[in-house]
Amino acid sequence: MNSYEAVIGLEVHVQLNTAAKIFCSCSAEFGAEANSHVCPVCMGFPGTLPVLNGAAVDKAVQVGLALGCEIQKFSIFDRKSYFYPDLPKAYQITQMFYPICLGGSLNIDTKSGSRRINLTRIHMEEDAGKLIHGEGESAAYSYVDFNRASVPLVEIVSEPDIRSAEEARLYLQKLRTILRYINVSDCNMEEGSLRCDANISIRPVGEAELGTKVEIKNMNSFRNVQHAIEYEIARQTEILSEGGHIRQQTRLWDNDRGITLAMRSKENAHDYRYFPDPDLFPLKLTDEKIERLKKTIPELPDSRKARFMQEYSLSAQDADLLVSEKDYADFYEDALKIYSSPKNIANWIMSELLRVVNQKGLSIFNAGVAPADIAQLVKLIESGAISGKQGKEVFAEAVETGKTPEAIVSEKGLSQLSDKGELYGIVQKVVKANPSEAERFKSGEEKLLGFFVGLVIKESRGKANPKLVNEILKETLK
Amino acid sequence: MISEKDIMYVADLAKIKLDAAEVKKFTSDLNDIVEYAAMLKEVDVAGVEPMYSPNLDEGTPEREDVVGASLTQSEALAASKYIDRGHFRVPKIIEGQ
Amino acid sequence: MDNILGLTLAELSALLERKELSSRELIAFYIDRIERFDGKLLAYLYKDAESALKRAEQIDDRRAKGEKLPRSAGLPCALKDLIVTSDMPTTCASKMLEGFISPFDATAAKNMREAGYISLGKLNMDQYAMGSSGESSYFQKTVNPWDYSRVPGGSSSGSASAVAARLTPVAISSDTGGSIRQPAGFCGVTGLKPTYGRVSRFGVVSYASSLDQLGPITNSVEDAAFVMDVLGLNDPMDSTSAPSKTDFYANLQRAGDSLKGVRLGLPEGHLSDLAPGLKAAVENALKDCEKLGAEIVNVDFPLAAKGLPVYQMIANAEAASNLAKYDGVKYGHRANIAELEEMYSITRREGFGPEVKKRIILGTYILLEGQYEEYYRRAMRIRRLIRKDYDAAFKKCDLIVGPVSAGVAFRFGDKTISAMEMYLNDLFTVLLNLNGSCGITVPCGFGEDNLPVGLQFQGDMFAEDALLRAAHIYQQSTDWHKRIPALLENGVER
C-alpha cells in the first residue's frame, strides 16, 4: 500500500477589532440585538456608498508587518458578486487582484522541530451578515441579521506548506497568538472573530505534483480544525487506496457527527465576476504611514521566547507558556522589574496565577494581583519572612481582597519567627519540659527531631521558621 | 457567438428568470452588441493601464474609526414586509446536503 | 405673476429677500402650473403640494421675523426620482422600488433643503436611468412640451420636460451617458453635467458608479451656476467626492460678454450625418460664438467611434453589479415564493423592465471570468486612451463645442425597434462621461418640425468656471432659452 502525505493550505478570516465597521460608522461590536447595528450603507440601501475606515487599514498593515509580509503601497478593492440573503449588496467588497499584503510567513514548533509556513497574501474585506435557520414551525424560513455585515476582516492565505492536522492547529494557534500580540483582533473562534477554511489534498510520499484539493469549511474551534482535517485526510486516503478519485468540491465539517459532508453542487460552481469597486479609489499607503505602524509592532512571541530562555534561563516549555499571550509576558516582565527572581516569579505566575486566570476567565492584569504583588510575594518567601505554604494563603487572600501581600502578612501576623534568640528560648523551654525524649535523642534516636520541631512550632503558634528551629534543636541536643 | 445556453447561464448568475422568448431576444441583442464591441479588439492597448475611475490618481479617503448613529431595529426593517422577530425573513436556505 | 417665468433664480431670490414676493406665492404659482399642465406632460411621479406650501410658509415666517436666510431660501426645485428622500417615495421609475421610502436623504437633497430650496416633487425618468427617451419608465411616458407626440429625451425625461414647461425652475438630474445633456437639448433647456466627483453621489441610486454624476437642468446657465453653489459641496459620505466649490455664481458674475481669446474645439466629423435643420442651428450657433470673439479650431478624437462600445461595456458591467442589491430581502418588490432561488429570480423578473434586464444580462456576461479581460478591462484601458485624446484636445482648445444629438426629439415608439438605434442617441454624449469632465447643453435654435436644438460645450476636469462662462456669454447673446412652449391645458393650447 502507498503511503500518502497531506498538503494543506489554510484561509483564515480574522475580524479586526475596530470600533466601527469597515465601510460605514455602525458599531462593529459583537452580540447586539438583531439588526440594531445597521445603517443604510451596511444594509445596501439604494444610493449608499462605502467610505473606508482608516483604522481597519492600519490594523491590516500591522498584521502584514507582524507576519513579515511585503506591504503593498497600492491596493484595490474589488467586488465579489453572488446572491445570498446575508450579503446585502449581493457583492462583497474584497481585494482580489491587488491585495494589501503579499508574502510573509510564520514559524510553528512541531515535535520534530521548528517549521516555517509561508503565506501567499493577506487582503482586506467586509464580513457578511448572519443567518439563523428556523426550526419547528419556522422551519420553512431562514432569518437575516445584518449586524455583522461590513465588519472589517483580513483574510490570511497560507501557501500549501502544512503537512498534518496537528501542524494546521499549531499554525492557527500561532497566528492567534501573534494577532493578539498586536491587538488587532480577539481571535475568538467560537464567536467567529477567527474563522478557518482548509484546502486539503493528498499525494503519494515523494510525488511532487499536487493532488485534487477539497475545501473544508465550518470548523469553529482549534480542536475542530484538527479533527476535520484528520477526518478529511483519512477519507481521501481511503478513496485513493481503493483506486478511487478525489472530486474537487467544498465540504462542510459536521461537528456533531464528526465527518465532512459535500455541499450541494450548485454552490460549488461560482463565477464571482470580480472587478474593481468603482465607488472606491485605490488604497494608497505612504512610506511614512508604514514606518509609523512598524513602530507599533511589539516584540513578537518567537523572539520574546528566545530572549526569555537566554536572559532568564527559562526552559523552552516555560518560556512558551509565558509568551503565549502578550499579557502574560508583559506581566512577567513587569514583576521582574520590581524583584528580579526569574525562575520563582515564572513559577508563581504559571502555577498559581494562571490557574486563577483560567478559572475566572479574567485577563491576567485583572485577576486581583498586580505584577508588584507577585514580586513582593516571591520576595517575602525568598527572604524567609513567610513560608511557601503561607505564601499560597497570602496569594489566595490577595486574589480575594485585592490587598498587597505585605499588608496581608502583617494583618494576619503571618510573619515567620526568625529571631534566633527568641527561638532559642522556646527550644530551651520545650527541651526542659521533655527530658526523657531529650535523652533518647542524644543517645541516637534521631527520628525524635520531628517531635521537637512540631512542639516548638506549636509553642510559637505556627510562626517559627522551621529551618532555623531544626538548626537550633540539633545544636541544643548535641 | 453567444448561445442561448450562455444567456441562460448568465441569467441564472444574475438571478433573473427569463422565458424562452426573452432568452431568444436577449441572445440576439447581446450578439449584436458584442459584435459591435468587437471593434475594441482593434485598439492597441499594450502597456495601457485601465482607467477605472476619472479621478484615479486620488487615493481613497479614510474615515476615522468613530461609531456613528445606526438605524433602530424598526427603522432597519421598515422597508420590508417579510420581517419576523427583529429579522428579515427569507425562504429556508439549505446548507450542506 | 406670469412674469415670474422670465426671472432667473437670482432675481426671484432678490424679490423674496425684499419681500416683494412671498415663497408661498412662488410655490403656489408653480403648484398651479403643475396642476394645470402635468396631467398631459406626465413629468412628475410624485407631488406633495401641501408639504411644499407648508415649508414655504415657514420660510416666509422666518423671513418676517427678520431671520437671516440663505439666498435660495424659498425657491422651488424638483428632483429626478433616483435621488432618495425620506419624505417622498423614490422609485427610479421602476416597479422594483414602487412606493419605496428611503430611510435617509441623499446629500444633494439635503444640501438643497438646507439651502432653503423647496421640493415640489419627484420627476419621471427612464427606469434606473437606462434609456434615451424616457419610455422605459414603469409608470408613465413623459412627453416633450414642444410636441406632445415626441419624447423629451432621457433618461432625465421628467426633469427636462418639467423645466421646459416651467413646472419647476430647476430639476436636479443625473447624467451617466448624456442623461442630462441630451434631454436638455430635446426640450430646449440648459443642462449641466459637472465633473465626476463635483456633486455627491451619496443617495443617488447608482446606474454606473464611475460615470454617474448629478447636475442641474435649468432655464439658463446663470441658474445652473446659482444652483451649483449648493450642489458643489464635498461629501465625506462619497469617497469619490471632490473638494467643495461654492463660487460658481460669483465667478459667472464676472464673465463679461466677449469670447475673445476662447478657443472652441470642433471635433472632426461632428457636423456630418446631422439632421439638416439641426445642423443649420448648430452651425449658426458656432458663427455666433465666432462673432463673440471665439476662435473655432479643429480637434480630433481618433477613438470617438470606439466610445460607444467602451461605454456600453463599462456602464452595463457596473449596472449589473449595482442592481444586484435588489433581491427582495431588505426593501422593494418581492415575489412571495417559498424557494430562495425562485424568490430571487422571480422578484427580479417582475421588478425590472425589459431594458434593465437586458443591460443586467449584458453586464453580467461582460464580467464573467472568461470575458472580463477582453471586454471590461480592455474597455477601461481604451478609456484611458480616450482620456489622452481629451488631454491632447485641451492643449489645442479651451472648450469643445458641437451638437448634443444627431437629430431633434423623435416620435414615441420610433426607435424602440433595434437595440443599436437607441444607443446611437448616446453617441455625442458618452465620451465626456468616460473622460469624467464637465459639459453643458444650451438651447441654440430650432430644427426639424420647429423642435429645439441643443449646443454642447465640453470642458476639462473641474473646469466648470470656464465652461459656464462661455456657455453664459453665448446664451446672453441669444433668446432661445427664453422661449416657452405652448402647453396643453385640458386639451386646450395656452
Residue keyed to cell 476662435: C295
CATH number of the domain where residue C21 is located: 3.90.1300.10
Range name among A329-338, A401-410, A462-471, C472-481 with the lowest pLDDT average? A462-471
Question: Can you say whether the dihedral through the CA atoms of C383, A44, A14, A20 is positive or negative?
Answer: positive
Question: For residue A370, which amino acid is it?
Answer: A
Residue C417 lies in a domain: no
pLDDT at B96 over 70: no
Question: For residue A241, which amino acid is it?
Answer: S
Range name among A316-325, B32-41, C189-198, C409-418 with the lowest pLDDT average? C409-418
Name which residue leads in pLDDT, C308 or A49.
A49
Q: Residue C380: which of B6, B50, B92 has the nearest Cβ?
A: B50
Q: Residue B70: which of A26, A138, A281 has the nearest Cβ?
A: A26
Residue C450 lies in a domain: no
Q: Which residues of A76-102 are buried (b: 16+ CB within 10 A; e: fewer)?
A: bbbbbbbbbbbbbbbbbbbbbebbbbb
Q: How far is B62 from chain C (nearest CA, A)?
A: 8
- What is the torsion angle, in degrees rounded to the nearest 10, for the CA atoms of residue A310, residue A311, residue A313 and residue A318? -90
Residues C14 and C131 in one domain: yes
Residues C193 and C326 in one domain: no
pLDDT digits (tens, 9 = 90+) for C133-158: 999 999 999 999 999 999 999 999 99
pLDDT digits (tens, 9 = 90+) for C236-252: 999 999 999 999 999 99
Query: Cβ–Cβ of B13/A263 closer than 8 Å?
Result: no
Helix or strand (DSSP H, E) at A288: helix A287-294
Q: Residue B51: which of C312, C360, C387 has the nearest Cβ?
A: C387
B84 touches chain C (CB under 8 A): no
| Cα C106 from Cα C202, distance rounded (Å) | 6
A273 touches chain B (CB under 8 A): yes
Residue C152 lies in a domain: yes
pLDDT at A404 over 60: yes
| Average pLDDT value for residue range C415-425 | 51
CB A266 within 8 A of CB A254: no
Domains and CATH numbers, chain A: 4-292 (no CATH), 301-411 (no CATH), 420-476 (1.10.10.410)
What ipTM was assigned to the predicted interfaces of this complex? Answer: 0.96
Domain span holding position C209: 2-263+459-493
Return the number of other C-beta atoms located less than 10 Å from residue C349's C-beta.
Answer: 17
Closest residue in chain A to residue C128, using alpha carbons only: A46
Q: How confident is the model at residue C490 (pLDDT cuts 50, 70, 90)?
A: low
C-alpha cell at A3: 503511503
Q: How confident is the model at residue A414 (pLDDT cuts 50, 70, 90)?
A: confident
Residue C289 lies in a domain: no
Q: Residue C201: which of A49, A83, A273 has the nearest Cβ?
A: A49
Q: How far is A152 from chain C (nearest CA, A)?
A: 17
- Catalytic residue, chosen from C159, C179, C200, C220, is C179
Closest CA to C196 of C185, C186, C205, C208: C208
pLDDT at C420 over 50: no
Q: Which of C355, C379, C403 is the last residue of a domain?
A: C379
pLDDT digits (tens, 9 = 90+) for C367-396: 999 999 999 999 999 999 999 999 999 999
CB A165 within 8 A of CB A173: no
Residues C313 and C195 in one domain: no
Q: Residue A19: which of B52, B56, B66 has the nearest Cβ?
A: B66
Q: How far is A160 from chain C (nearest CA, A)?
A: 24
Query: Cβ–Cβ of B59/A283 closer than 8 Å?
Result: yes
Residues C353 and C252 in one domain: no
Residues C342 and C475 in one domain: no
C287 phi/psi in degrees, rounded to 5: -65, -40
Q: Which residues of B touch C344 (CB under 8 A)?
A: 15
Q: Which residues of A touch C236 (CB under 8 A)?
A: 51
Residue C98 lies in a domain: yes
Q: Which of C379, C396, C422 is the last residue of a domain?
A: C379
Instruction: Show the DSSP H helices in C119-271 as ranges.
Output: 157-164, 181-187, 221-231, 248-253
Q: Which residues of A touch B52 (CB under 8 A)?
A: 76, 276, 278
Residues C256 and C310 in one domain: no
pLDDT digits (tens, 9 = 90+) for A228-274: 999 999 999 999 999 999 999 999 999 899 999 988 655 545 799 99
Probe site for chain B from C128, C326, C362, C430 (most B CB atoms < 10 A): C362
Helix or strand (DSSP H, E) at A178: helix A165-181
Return the number of other C-beta atoms located less than 10 Å from residue C3's C-beta.
Answer: 6
DSSP secondary structure, A294-332, as one string: HTT----HHHHHHHHHHHH---HHHHHHHHSSHHHHHHH
Q: Is C179 a catalytic residue?
A: yes
Return the number of other C-beta atoms located less than 10 Å from residue C256's C-beta.
Answer: 11
Count of domains observed in chain C: 2
Query: Cβ–Cβ of C436/B55 closer than 8 Å?
Result: yes
Closest CA to C190 of C155, C217, C163, C222: C217
Q: Is C155 a catalytic residue?
A: yes
pLDDT digits (tens, 9 = 90+) for C51-77: 999 999 999 999 999 999 999 999 999
Residue C277 lies in a domain: no
Query: Cβ–Cβ of C349/B18 closer than 8 Å?
Result: yes
Residue C43 lies in a domain: yes
C457 phi/psi in degrees, rounded to 5: -105, 140
Q: Which residues of C touch A51 (CB under 8 A)?
A: 236-239
Range name among A366-370, C280-284, C315-319 with the lowest pLDDT average? A366-370
Residue C60 lies in a domain: yes
C-alpha cell at C260: 475673445
| Model pTM score | 0.92
| Cα A14 from Cα C174, distance rounded (Å) | 40
- Alpha-carbon C41 to chain mean position: 18
Query: Cβ–Cβ of B60/A282 closer than 8 Å?
Result: yes
A379 phi/psi in degrees, rounded to 5: -65, -45
Closest CA to A55 of A19, A24, A26, A12: A19
Q: Which residues of C touch A50 (CB under 8 A)?
A: 239
Residues C313 and C216 in one domain: no
CB C73 within 8 A of CB C81: no
Residues C101 and C171 in one domain: yes
Probe site for chain B from A16, A21, A25 (most B CB atoms < 10 A): A25
- Catalytic residue, chosen from C80, C95, C110, C279, is C80
Residues C257 and C314 in one domain: no
A284 touches chain B (CB under 8 A): yes
| Average pLDDT value for residue range A353-381 | 92
Residues C347 and C486 in one domain: no
Closest residue in chain A to residue C324, using alpha carbons only: A90
pLDDT digits (tens, 9 = 90+) for A159-183: 999 999 999 999 999 999 999 999 9
For the segment(s) B1-44, the CATH number from 1.10.20, 1.20.1050, 3.30.1380, 1.25.40 is 1.10.20
Q: Which of C379, C399, C432 is the last residue of a domain?
A: C379
Q: Is C156 a catalytic residue?
A: no
pLDDT of residue A218: 85
pLDDT digits (tens, 9 = 90+) for B40-72: 999 999 999 999 889 867 799 999 999 999 999
Q: Which residues of C touch B90 (CB under 8 A)?
A: 329, 340, 343
